[in-house]
Amino acid sequence: MARSTILIAENSFLIRKGLRSTLHSLENTEIVQSIDNKDDVCKIVNQIKPDILIINPELLPTNCPDLKRNFKNGNKLSLILISDQKNIKEELKADGYIHYLDGKNTILDLLQEILNEKNQNSITDKNADVISAREKNILKHIALGLTNKEIADQLFISIHTVVTHRKNITQKLGIKSVSGLTVYAILHKLISMDEVK
């Protein structure tokens, strides 16, 4: 599974630090940056494209009012607000809300829930961590060193389908490189070691 990235925008140093260390125990996530400056928010969000933005509403920039809109196409940023005003979540159409007085577990549960949702959406086959028979077949061809085009030709499917399968395989296995996938294929006896050049 790909790592989820989190960006924290909050002007209180204590909250920033505290949040960072609290979120440290979330698996498979990474806090990419924390910012304390309203002017930087838009630029940095667009630059690093975090999966989750945790932001103090005071830092929401006025010149790019709808941070989420930029991410609708593909990037699916989740917006979490951190504030002491309870009704602000609905007002700003955020995905989550952290109150200043929330305990550690409340915060972690909220984040975990949002992460789970994200991962569900990103994996086409929701139930299976293990790859399907079709994917195994594709993986076998990848491991043998075939290009997307060659795989598509051999299996009579479009390149686009091959690419989609590849993406899913990588996501499920957590392995990105071709040589890594080859090792997996050998370990799971999809191909034998002698077949690899």
Partner 1 sequence: MHIKKEMKLADVIQLNYMLIPVIHRFGINLGFGDKTVAAVCEENEVDLNFFLQLVNAYHDKDYFPKEELQSIPSKDIVTYLKMTHSSYLNEKLSEIEDLIEALQHTETEDEKYILLIRNFYEGYKNELTEHIMHEEEVVFPYVLTVEEICKAGVISEKNQKIYDSFSILKYQDAHDDVEEKLMDLKTIMIKYLTPPLNTNLYHKIIQDLFKLEEDLNYHSRIEDKVLTPKVILMEKSIKNLL
Q: Which is nearer to partner 1, 73 or 177 (CB)?
A: 177
Q: Which is nearer to partner 1, 159 or 175 (CB)?
A: 175
The pair of structure tokens assigned to 165 is 């399968």
CB of 58 to partner 1, least distance (A): 20
Q: Which is nearer to partner 1, 123 or 155 (CB)?
A: 123
Helix, strand, or coil (residue 172): helix
CB of 177 to partner 1, least distance (A): 5
Q: Which is nearer to partner 1, 64 or 175 (CB)?
A: 175
Exposure of 93 by Cβ count < 10 A (0-12 exposed, 13-18 middle, 19+ buried)? Answer: exposed
Q: Which is nearer to partner 1, 19 or 92 (CB)?
A: 19
CB of 91 to partner 1, least distance (A): 30
CB of 56 to partner 1, least distance (A): 16
Q: Which is nearer to partner 1, 84 or 194 (CB)?
A: 194
CB of 65 to partner 1, least distance (A): 27
Other Cβ atoms less than 10 A from the Cβ of 138: the count is 26
Distance CA 37, CA 33 (A): 12
Instruction: At 20, give phi and psi (nearest 5°).
Output: -60, -45
Helix, strand, or coil (residue 142): helix
Contact 152, 108 (CB under 8 A): no
Using CA atoms, how far residue 159 sits from 1, 15, 103, 134, 169, in Å, is 23, 48, 49, 15, 15
Instruction: Enumerate binding residues for partner 1 (CB under 8 A).
Output: 20, 34, 173-177, 179-180, 183-184, 186-188, 193
CB of 174 to partner 1, least distance (A): 5
Distance CA 46, CA 42 (A): 6
H or E segment and range at residue 81 = strand 78-83
